[in-house]
Amino acid sequence: MTSPIVRFDPHPMVNGPLTTFNQVRPKILTDVVQRTMQDLSQIPSESLLSEALFLERMRMKRLRANLFTMPRKRRDQKLWGRVQSGIVRSAAEVDRKRMLEGVVGHLADEIGGHFNPKIYSFATAALPYGFSWLLNAASVQRFLPWGMTQSLRERLRIVGNVDEIRKLSQKGTILLVPTHQSNIDSLLIGWIIHLMGLPPFAYGAGLNLFSNPFFSFFMSNLGAYTVDRQKSNTIYKHTLKNYSTRILREGVHSIFFPGGGRSRSGAIESRLKLGLLGTGLEAQIENLREGKPNPNIYIVPMVMSYNFVLEASSLIEDYLVEAGKHRFIAIDEDSLPQAKLVNFLWKLFSSQSGVTVRIGKAMDIFGNFVDENGMSIGPNGTTIDAKRWLTTRGELRPEAQRDQEFTRELGSRIVDRFHKENTVLSSHLVAFAFFETLKARYPDLDLYRFMRLTLPQRSFPFKEFLESAERYHQTVMQAADRGNLYMEDELRFAPTEKWVRDGIAQLGIFHEAGVIKIHDQSVYTEDMSLLYYYRNRLTGYGFGDEVKK
């Protein structure tokens, strides 16, 4: 169902802490450097620098820079060249601490985002026009049945606790944690935030997105800060963490993809990267200790559901290779070629397709639900005082082991909510039902042998498939009734053959190879990997076993 509370008409930017970000940026970066130096003071600077130098050299060797990433690579090379020539000289000649401080400063500046209100206003105003244009042009071409009246509202469905997150954004700092399937996520999220009437959010975007000058310009001026997952050295990790903590403490609403990168398998994230997630807790502890007026950090899960995914093919291939042989994968910067992107958006909005975005129930930093006043709700009608939960031996303070455990618990709560806030679309269910039905015909094959079935082996009568699909539909519907996930209405109430055909058509809009095809009373797949990818969206619920019973 479409949420009427979401405004789709152009509307002005809501002011938030990010609006004036550029004024405090230098101060924030200084704090980050100072804090990082403090964190690292226990480790000898020389060993930190040597480790980073080695890892960075390795990374740069593997990196295939393009025209736009070249300047960044050159800057990095220059920095590490200086470190190398410094480190070969004696410590008396070149002060290691100062060298380290220089490196941290460089990294903090690379990570640190900018925010330009003018560009924000322009982008949020232009983006819907861009989309509408695309949409209308596409719709005109397709004539009926949707025609020109088809509005953006029906294509981008923002549902769930929109009102709640809006209220909470006044009472504390929001940490929005979305599932991550596609690079498109990073583009849509900024806009979704704006549509919900929220002030701009800061978010950590993969460095690869900055390799495209168009996105780079917008994103780096819209509060995005860069996260380079290829940089694995200790100095970088600490700097990034401290940056994230620092802007949360500044009250800047932020977005993390807690799963790290995009889901390779197509499944909803079941393992999270806890490092960055822990910065929410860290920020709240410091806020409470300082006695800030709105100290709370609210964790809001968000699940984005696409009928088809731009990078599905390359993601699942990566996943299968990784899961199969642990083979070395060359770093692929995976930038977004504009033509491919436009093609995708065109198809996304020109079809009767769309994106469903569900804003989940907000939680506190321990994973307890919060009410709309921002109060943490415990079991059996209790309310929770975060200060008490963060008190160890009578004192409110950080405690590394405890906080790690709190973050682990929060992580598993988020994973649970991701599954429950998921909206099943017809393409997901049809892929799941088809894969499972086919798999049941070959009970003795392991996944890899199963994936290599020949084309005739991958087909069976359509009628038989409909019967099986009906059973899966029933199972998923029961799970939806129990509150284990959501089901879009079109899927829920449609007769079997209708949603099955619709799901197959959805997959067919974007993928030229038939993920599922119907021909002459039989149904088959031309691309087992893609089928597997879309099927994986419904793993983790136990649906396969349930139907078999």
Partner 1 sequence: MSHKPFWRNSKVAVIGAGSWGSVLANLAAPNCREVRLWTRSEEQARAINATRFNAQNWPEMRLHERIRAISEPERAFEGGVDVVIWALPSIAARIQAKEFAKYFHGQEILLHATKGIEAGTLKRISQILREEIPCPRVGVISGPNLAKEIARGEPAATVVASHYKEVIEAGQEILTNDRFRVYGDEDVIGVEWAGTLKNILAIASGALDGLKLGWNTRATLITRGLAEMVRFGKAMGAEEGTFLGLAGVGDLLATCSSPDSRNYRVGYGIAEGHKLEDILKNLGSTAEGVGTAETVHKFAQAKGILMPITEGVYHLIHQDLTAREVLHKLMTRPLVE
405: contact with partner 1 by CB under 8 A: yes
Buried b (16+ CB within 10 A) or exposed e, 87-112: beeeeeeeebeebbbbbbbbbbebbb
42: contact with partner 1 by CB under 8 A: no
402: contact with partner 1 by CB under 8 A: yes
DSSP code of residue 486: E
393: contact with partner 1 by CB under 8 A: yes
Instruction: Find the shortest distance in angstroms from Cβ 442 to partner 1.
Output: 22
**Can you spell out the DSSP letters for 54-78?**
HHHHHHHHH----TTTHHHHHHHHH
**Residue 387 contacts residue 396 (beta carbons within 8 Å):** yes
545: contact with partner 1 by CB under 8 A: no
**What residues contact residue 69 under an 8 Å CB cut-off, 6+ apart?**
63, 210, 211, 333
First to last CA, the chain: 32
Mark the segment that binds partner 1 (CB under 8 A) among 129-137, 153-161, 394-402, 468-476. 394-402
Question: For residues 238 and 35, what is the distance between their CA atoms, to the nearest angstrom?
Answer: 9
Question: For residues 246 and 337, what is the distance between their CA atoms, to the nearest angstrom?
Answer: 34
Instruction: Find the shortest distance in angstroms from Cβ 544 to partner 1.
Output: 17
Instruction: Find the shortest distance in angstroms from Cβ 252 to partner 1.
Output: 28
Instruction: Find the shortest distance in angstroms from Cβ 167 to partner 1.
Output: 23
* 3-class state of residue 89 by DSSP: coil
510: contact with partner 1 by CB under 8 A: no
Mark the segment that binds partner 1 (CB under 8 A) among 18-26, 84-92, 383-391, 494-502. 383-391
- Quick one: which of 4, 291, 293, 381 contacts partner 1 (CB under 8 A)? 381
- Quick one: which of 406, 510, 532, 533 contacts partner 1 (CB under 8 A)? 406
What count of other Cβ atoms lies within 10 Å of the Cβ of residue 41?
11
Per DSSP (E only), the strands in 238-312 are 254-255, 297-306
CA neighbor of 129 nearest in space, from 213, 9, 5, 217: 9
Instruction: Find the shortest distance in angstroms from Cβ 396 to partner 1.
Output: 9
Task: Give the total of residues touching partner 1 (CB under 8 A).
Answer: 22
Instruction: Find the shortest distance in angstroms from Cβ 37 to partner 1.
Output: 24
**Can you spell out the DSSP letters for 494-535?**
S-HHHHHHHHHHHHHHH-SS-SSEEETTEEE-S-HHHHHHHH
Q: Which is nearer to partner 1, 199 or 367 (CB)?
A: 367
- Quick one: which of 141, 380, 454, 521 contacts partner 1 (CB under 8 A)? 380
549: contact with partner 1 by CB under 8 A: no
Instruction: Find the shortest distance in angstroms from Cβ 398 to partner 1.
Output: 13
Buried b (16+ CB within 10 A) or exposed e, 239-268: bbbbbbbbbbbbbbbbbbbbbbebbbbbbb
289: contact with partner 1 by CB under 8 A: no
DSSP code of residue 312: H
379: contact with partner 1 by CB under 8 A: yes
Question: For residues 482 and 386, what is the distance between their CA atoms, to the nearest angstrom?
Answer: 30
Q: Which is nearer to partner 1, 90 or 401 (CB)?
A: 401
Mark the segment that binds partner 1 (CB under 8 A) among 254-262, 313-321, 404-412, 540-548. 404-412
394: contact with partner 1 by CB under 8 A: yes
Q: Binding pattern to partner 1, positions 91-120, x when CB under 8 A?
A: ------------------------------
Per CB under 8 A, contacts with partner 1 among 438-497 are none
Question: For residues 107 and 40, what is the distance between their CA atoms, to the nearest angstrom?
Answer: 14
Question: For residues 408 and 405, what is the distance between their CA atoms, to the nearest angstrom?
Answer: 5
- Quick one: which of 366, 418, 486, 533 contacts partner 1 (CB under 8 A)? 366
332: contact with partner 1 by CB under 8 A: no
Residues that bind partner 1 (CB under 8 A): 366, 368, 378-382, 384-385, 388-389, 391-394, 399, 401-402, 405-406, 408-409
